[in-house]
Amino acid sequence: MATYKGIQGYSVPKLTTDPTGSAVVGQLWYNSTEGAFKISTEGAGAWSSGGVMNDARDEMASCGTQTAAIAAGGEPPNTTNAETYDGTTWTEVNNLVEGGRYGLVGFGTTTAAIAAGGYSNPPTNARTSVESYNGTSWTAATGMTTARYNFGGSKGGTQTAGLVFSGISPSHGTETVNAEEYNGSTWTEKANVNTARAAAKGLGISTASLMCGGGTGSLTVKVAIVEEYNGTSWTEVGDLNTARQNVGSAGTTALGLVAGGNGPSFSALTEKWDGTSWTEVADLATGRYGPGSSGSATEAALFGGSTAPGVVTSTEEWNDPVYTIKTVTVS
């Protein structure tokens, strides 16, 4: 408990409940309900427990915000199931209509989402399939030019402006450099990435994206390479501190976040991007591979994924900074 001395001639607000957020950091107030003086302090980012998914899954399509996320498809098995998250509870919604598959990419919101690509078994193949969600049901949309799975995309994109890249494409011979952009009705091939790979995950929007990590050599070699897309071309930027694949991702090209992945093992590592370099921050409580993710670099959700015991249903929520309210004594 902190002690503050010599507070004279200072008007302390009298409140019945504690305020929250950055607006009150460093400010003192009196909580009349508790009969105590309080102060809010700002701490480093941290993960906390969130809601439990209805179905354990990894390598799903996912997008949205920390308090309004959607997850669709994934494995095991190759599922058509979809569910949404409101920051507290996961609720099952209507299934995908183009068949169960894993290794998909999602972008958009809980009322206007896209789920693209993936791998199905049976039939055993990569898919060009794309589905559009309107908040109630999924419908088939224009398919991608290149069939692919285990690829990346602009998680911050919209239902009418998204980007997908890399991944495994049988027609291109394992890992591909291909990228394509969606405008809500058609797909257009864009500049190739510099390093062909699979299981690289993305963040940002269709004209400003990061592609993070991944694997080469049929996923036998994990890489730390990060490439940035500016709407025209790809440029290698600062590497991740730890090479890994199939991470959870959120944010923008100016402020991004990646967490989990495979490399080494089921990783709990979290790294934050400031537009120039990556910094390791607080670990996940549960290391996991292939989780879904949503939100921003300051408020994100990460859910599902594979761990050493198997596929999980847990959700973790990232907040940066974390605000802590402390009771103080004044003498």
Given this model, what pLDDT does residue 330 score?
64
> Residues 150-190: pLDDT tens digits?
999 999 999 999 999 999 998 766 899 999 999 999 999 99
Residue 85 phi/psi, 5-degree rounding, is -125, 135
Given this model, what pLDDT does residue 4 score?
46
Which of 48, 43, 78, 47 lies closest to 61, judged by CA?
78
User: Which of 2-6, 31-35, 258-262, 312-316 is the least confident region?
Assistant: 2-6
Q: With bands split at pLDDT 50, 70 and 90, how would you rate the model's confidence at 23?
A: low
Given this model, what pLDDT does residue 13 score?
87
Given this model, what pLDDT does residue 170 score?
85
- Model confidence at 2: pLDDT above 60: no
Which has the higher per-residue pLDDT, 53 or 122?
Answer: 53
- Model confidence at 215: pLDDT above 50: yes
Given this model, what pLDDT does residue 77 score?
85
Mean pLDDT for 57-62 is 98
User: Which of 16-20, 69-73, 204-208 is the least confident region?
Assistant: 16-20
Mean pLDDT for 130-156 is 97
298 burial class (0-12, 13-18, 19+ CB within 10 angstroms)? middle
Given this model, what pLDDT does residue 3 score?
46
> Residues 271-289: pLDDT tens digits?
999 999 999 999 999 999 9
Q: With bands split at pLDDT 50, 70 and 90, how would you rate the model's confidence at 18?
A: confident
> Residues 92-121: pLDDT tens digits?
999 999 889 999 999 999 999 999 999 997
**230, 208 in Cβ contact below 8 A?**
yes
- Model confidence at 5: pLDDT above 50: no
Which of 39, 37, 11, 4 lies closest to 331, judged by CA?
4
Cα-based angle 100, 106, 107 (whole degrees, multiple of 5): 155
Which has the higher per-residue pLDDT, 9 or 17?
Answer: 17
Which of 149, 158, 210 lies closest to 183, judged by CA?
158
The owner of tokens 């957020």 is 21
CATH class in words for 54-319: mainly beta
State the span(s) of the chain assigned CATH 2.120.10.80. 54-319
Task: Write out the two tokens for 181.
Answer: 């952009």
DSSP assignment of 251-276 equals E-SSSEEEE--BSSSB---EEEE-SS
Enumerate residues 6+ apart whose C-beta is below 8 A from 63.
69, 70, 106, 107, 108, 109, 113, 114, 155, 157, 294
Question: What residues pair up with 47 in beta bridges, in sequence order?
Answer: 318
Q: With bands split at pLDDT 50, 70 and 90, how would you rate the model's confidence at 145?
A: very high
Task: Tell me the pTM.
Answer: 0.89
Given this model, what pLDDT does residue 10 score?
64
> Residues 66-98: pLDDT tens digits?
999 999 999 988 899 999 999 999 999 999 998
